Amino acid sequence: MQRKDIQERQKILVGNAIDQWKSQVENKVVVVTGGARGIGKTLVENLLKSGAKVVAADINWNSSQDFKKHLEGTEEAMSVQMDIADDASLDAAYESVMEKFGTVDVLINNAALVSETLFFPRGQVKTLDTKDSDWEKMFSVNTFGVLKTIRRFIRPMLQKGSGSIINMVSSGILPMHQGGSLFSMRPWTVEMPYQASKAATMAMTFYLAEEVRETGVAVNGMMPFHTRASWFDATEKTWRDQGMVYFMRPSVAEHVVPATLFLSGQDGHGVTGRLIYVPEWNYDHGFGDTKVWDDFSLPPEMEEMYSKLEAALPKYERSGVSHLPFDAWAALWTAGMEKLAGKGEK
Ligand SMILES: NC(=O)c1ccc[n+]([C@@H]2O[C@H](COP(=O)([O-])OP(=O)(O)OC[C@H]3O[C@@H](n4cnc5c(N)ncnc54)[C@H](O)[C@@H]3O)[C@@H](O)[C@H]2O)c1
């Protein structure tokens, strides 16, 4: 497919998702944490397009003033300053949401520190080189922060006997098997303490889902793919300055929209206690493989880097999966980097 056809296809797929689940999210009050930028901002925009009333909550609106103004001028939207790691901030934000909308139907726990924001911009510190304070900070946002947010925003859902909670985690938490004992999906990405905090949140998701199922509240987890979020360009540039390509071409954040709309429409009597890997879910539900969500709106230097890598990669494709297994990708990436280095094309 041509690049412009892929971009057109992305718009069609997002439109299809909105058409399919609009009736389930229309007029619902949806709180998106980390809604000022990155994946969260894209979710806020598309939930609004789907007719939901949307609260974008974030600790930091500094670089998102235009978006904040846009939300403030939209009757169905609300922006709120909220630190998910701070009890007083959460209490104040919860009160202001209840004052404006009177209830909450869906909570999307999207706010997080990722390795690239805790260790900005390079994003990788080996486990033994991390400090205890890195772990404390990561867990205070990604695990305790999620729990603290749920404790507040689940209240109206429990009262009404319906609601949906979606916790964003990452595929780096996954164990795999090839017929025998388990091993990690991609332990070479150097992501402590981020993945440890997400693994804890995933365990909480499964247990909470079971504990509140009969109250009518659904609790699910979602793992987005490699996505060009707010930190991505700075991280990519740092890697590029060191002569490396930052993994493979990223997806656009819109690839998370279909599964988010679907899960937003669930309650405890529907789909609950599931961990959705977004690329596989998209593939199985007619929303394409990861190639369909490739980002072709990159700045020129970044585009040049990914285009060079893609041209240097040996061709290897197969059916039945939304993307190649990560280990196959790592092998291809290494082969591509060696080819580029051999040509002196760093
Ligand atoms: N981008 C990816 O490739 C990727 C892949 C897998 C999972 N995820 C997950 O997706 C979610 C969104 O990540 P992203 O990549 O868009 O990152 P991002 O940094 O672009 O967005 C995260 C947002 O969370 C906010 N935030 C951070 N700490 C907060 C706090 N204490 N209180 C309130 N808000 C806070 C930030 O200000 C930011 O706006 C995260 O949960 C992340 O773990 C991302």
Contact 169, 198 (CB under 8 A): yes
Is the minimum distance from the CB of 224 to ligand 1 under 6 angstroms? yes
Instruction: Give the position, in ligand 1's atom list, of the atom nearest the Cα of 36.
Output: 39
Query: How many whole angstroms from 300 Cα to the centroid of ligand 1?
Result: 25
Q: Which residues of 4-17 are buried (b: 16+ CB within 10 A; e: fewer)?
A: eebeeebeebbeeb
Contact 181, 123 (CB under 8 A): no
Helix (H) or strand (E) holding 259: helix 257-264
Give the DSSP letter of residue 255. Answer: G
* Cα distances (angstroms) measured from residue 181 to each of 175, 176, 196: 10, 8, 20
Q: What is the rounded (10 degree) CA torsion for 112, 116, 119, 124?
A: 120
The DSSP line for 11-23 is HHHHHHHHHHHHH
- pLDDT for res 346: 45
- pLDDT for res 314: 83
Is the minimum distance from the CB of 168 to ligand 1 under 6 angstroms? yes
Give pTM, 2 decimals: 0.97
Is the minimum distance from the CB of 113 to ligand 1 under 6 angstroms? yes
At residue 76, the 3 state secondary structure works out as coil
At residue 27, the 3 state secondary structure works out as coil
Q: Is 29 exposed, middle or buried (0-12, 13-18, 19+ CB in 10 A)?
A: buried
Instruction: Give the position, in ligand 1's atom list, of the atom nearest the Cα of 226.
Output: 3
Query: How many whole angstroms from 110 Cα to the centroid of ligand 1?
Result: 6
Please, what are the domains in the chain? 3-297 (3.40.50.720)
The DSSP line for 32-44 is EETTTSHHHHHHH
Query: How many whole angstroms from 192 Cα to the centroid of ligand 1?
Result: 16
Query: How many whole angstroms from 142 Cα to the centroid of ligand 1?
Result: 9
Rounded-to-integer distance, Cα 95 and Cα 97, Å: 6
pLDDT digit string, tens, across residues 116-169:
999 999 999 999 999 999 999 999 999 999 999 999 999 999 999 999 999 999
Contacts of residue 126, defined as CB under 8 A and 6 or more positions apart, other chains included, come to 190, 192
Rounded-to-integer distance, Cα 205 and Cα 147, Å: 10
Rounded-to-integer distance, Cα 325 and Cα 328, Å: 5
Region for 157 from its dihedrals, namely left if φ exceeds 0, alpha if ψ lies in -120 to 50, beta otherwise: alpha
How do the pLDDT tens digits run along the chain, 346 residues long? 788 999 999 999 999 999 999 999 999 999 999 999 999 999 999 999 999 999 999 999 999 999 999 999 999 999 999 999 999 999 999 999 999 999 999 999 999 999 999 999 999 999 999 999 999 999 999 999 999 999 999 999 999 999 999 999 999 999 999 899 999 999 999 999 999 999 999 999 999 999 999 999 999 999 999 999 999 999 999 999 999 999 999 999 999 999 999 999 999 999 999 999 999 999 999 999 999 999 999 999 999 999 999 999 988 888 999 999 999 999 999 999 999 988 544 4
Rounded-to-integer distance, Cα 258 and Cα 17, Å: 5
Is the minimum distance from the CB of 34 to ligand 1 under 6 angstroms? yes
- pLDDT for res 122: 96
Active site residue 194: yes
At residue 1, the 3 state secondary structure works out as coil
Instruction: Give the position, in ligand 1's atom list, of the atom nearest the Cα of 227.
Output: 3
- pLDDT for res 159: 98
Strands 29-33 and 106-109: parallel
Contact 254, 14 (CB under 8 A): yes
33 forms beta bridges with 57
- pLDDT for res 344: 47
Rounded-to-integer distance, Cα 201 and Cα 139, Å: 9
Catalytic, out of 194, 246, 283, 306:
194
Closest CA relative to residue 107, chosen from 161, 55, 59, 50 = 55
CA 122, 128, 131, 136 dihedral sign is: positive
pLDDT digit string, tens, across residues 218-240:
999 999 999 999 999 999 999 99
